[in-house]
Structure 1
Amino acid sequence: AAAVARTPYDLAVSAGIGGGFSTRPPATAPAVTAPAVTAPGAAGLGSAGPEATGPEAARPGSAGPVATATARPTTPAPATAHLGSVVVADAIVAADLGAETPDGFAAVTDLGFGTVEHLPPAPLVAAVAEATDAVRGTVLTVSTVTGSAERAAELLRRHPRAVAEAMEGFGVAEAAAAQSVPALEVRTVSNAVGPRDRAAWRIGEALEALTGAFATIAPLLGTWTFDPEGTRQ
């Protein structure tokens, strides 16, 4: 209708509340063995003599036992989205569009057709995240809301950058892409992804946070127009 009226849209925005991945499995890093360190030995300065043990290990000038060190490199923790957080998607992913196989879940792209991901314009995502102090990451679209810790862990295993799940974003992005219109997804977190605990839901607070976020976002969106590839003009 907008195209017929010669007033096509520049951007489609999917906004609402959703579940946040507020907890994650502890990150593990592989052990890294430092190069061996040896002391100068009887074979000459700077060369390694026979490995010394017992009293020889303490004698000056003898080669002590090979020293090794184990270091675990630090990796920044993945983003988490707690109750009330604003989330902006840098990837909109259909998390359960596919098939179960004997080897596990296979996305439609693994089956040779379709798509499961849309990428909002990166400059706009960055601007919205900065303006609203939002968590950036993958927002999953699911057809069944997660209700167990096992399911939450499985989603994070397959989508380690996931920060939230909802039920509409991919559909909006798919429809927008069919019209060569970029899409943006913004959520506020009303509950944690995992075991269902209605007493812990904060729907009212999340809607209030969404209202506040859009009071900030709306003027920003008014300054943006896009070409068909979603690049700011």
Structure 2
Amino acid sequence: MSGTTSPVRRLLVVTAVAAEREAAAAGLASALVPGAVTTDSLADGAPATPFEAAATATGPTPAPHPLALHATVLAGGVGPGAAAATTAAALARAEAAGRPYDLVVSAGIGGGFAPAVPVGSVAVASAIVAADLGAQTPDGFVPVAELGFGTSRHLPPQPLGRTVAEVLAAAYGPVLTVSTVTGSAERAAELADRHPGAVAEAMEGFGVAEAAGAAGLPVLEIRTVSNAVGPRDRAAWRIGEALEALTAAFGKLPGAMGVGTEHG
């Protein structure tokens, strides 16, 4: 998955929960022509429905641009397993209907590695890493790839990822997928040491990337930061702020992807 070779016409965005889905959809709807965004929730069996931007949009809404892009925003469930299963199902369903996707984006809120990636900021993945997939040994953690059992890393298309990060004014670096959210300073330091330059931690990116990779599609991961990776302090979380940042980021995403202005 080194890059995209044709314009993106159909985009699948996979979040974990409905609040993230609505925030990302609101941003996309503010940038695209009416009817270009639908929302879906394969995790609970709900069918795809047209998204109305006014329902959840936060802050000022930019004037729509007639971009030749259709986006589906999916709430796929929490964790890499649910994310992989629902992403794969959505991709298969679209392929069977003759409307395959061109690009998959894992999106939502997550933890940022302080102080470089503070609360309210945006992170774009240079690599999507399964940070706890492997084996614990007397000499430390060994990633599954080093055990000879597959991969623990997917690389988004670098030119596109860098451009998206620049337009979104985002931190650009590895985003870590974990099955257990970090809750201590010691664990945060261990992850930062093992993955130099890591910008964020979340729970679904690697699952989404596995499904996209199996379908031969490029993948991005975009996170907005609700809390610092480290000691678990719910009182310090800023979920509302992170969701607003997610809407703003997805309002800029179509332009960052350089989607053409003709109707497709």
State the TM-score, normalizing by the size of structure 2: 0.62
Q: How does 1:1-233 map to 2 (within 5 A)?
A: 1-23=93-115, 80-221=116-257, 223=259
Unaligned runs of 5+ in 1: 24-79, 225-233
TM-aligned CA deviation for residue 5 of structure 1:
1.9
> In structure 2, how many angstroms separate the alpha carbons of the residues matched to 1:212 and 1:175?
27
Q: Deviation string for 1:99-151 (max 9, x for gaps)?
A: 11111111111111110000111111111111110110000000000000000
> Structure 1 or 2: larger helix share?
2
Q: Give the Cα separation in 2 of the matches to 1:221 and 1:5.
A: 25
Give % identity: 70
Q: Which moved more, 1:213-222 or 1:173-182?
A: 213-222
Question: Counterpart of 2:199 in structure 1: which amino acid?
Answer: V
Question: Which runs of no fewer than 5 residues in structure 2 stay unpaired?
Answer: 1-92
Instruction: Tell me which residue corresponds to 2:52.
Output: none
Amino acid at match of 1:201: W
Letter in 1 for 2:247: T
1:202 Cα deviation from its structure 2 partner: 0.3
Q: Over alpha carbons, which structure has the higher Rg?
A: 1
d(CA) in 2 for partners of 1:195 and 1:179?
37
Q: What is the alpha-carbon distance in structure 2 between the residues aligned to residue 165 and residue 191 of structure 1? A: 10
For residue 89 of structure 1, give the secondary structure of its aligned residue in structure 2: strand
How far apart are residue 222 of structure 1 and its match? 6.3
Q: Give CA deviations for 1:75-104 in whole Å, capped at 9, x if unaligned.
A: xxxxx2101011000100000001111111
Alpha-carbon distance in structure 2 between the residues aligned to 1:135 and 1:220: 15
* Residue 157 of structure 1: how far off its partner (Å): 1.1
Give the CA deviation at 1:219: 3.7
Deviating beyond 6 angstroms after TM superposition, the runs of 4 or more aligned structure 1 residues are none
- How many residues of Structure 1 are paired with residues of Structure 2 in the alignment? 168
Distance 1:13 1:93 in 2: 15
Aligned-partner Cα distance in 1 for 2:125–2:256: 17
SS in structure 2 of the partner of residue 112 of structure 1: coil
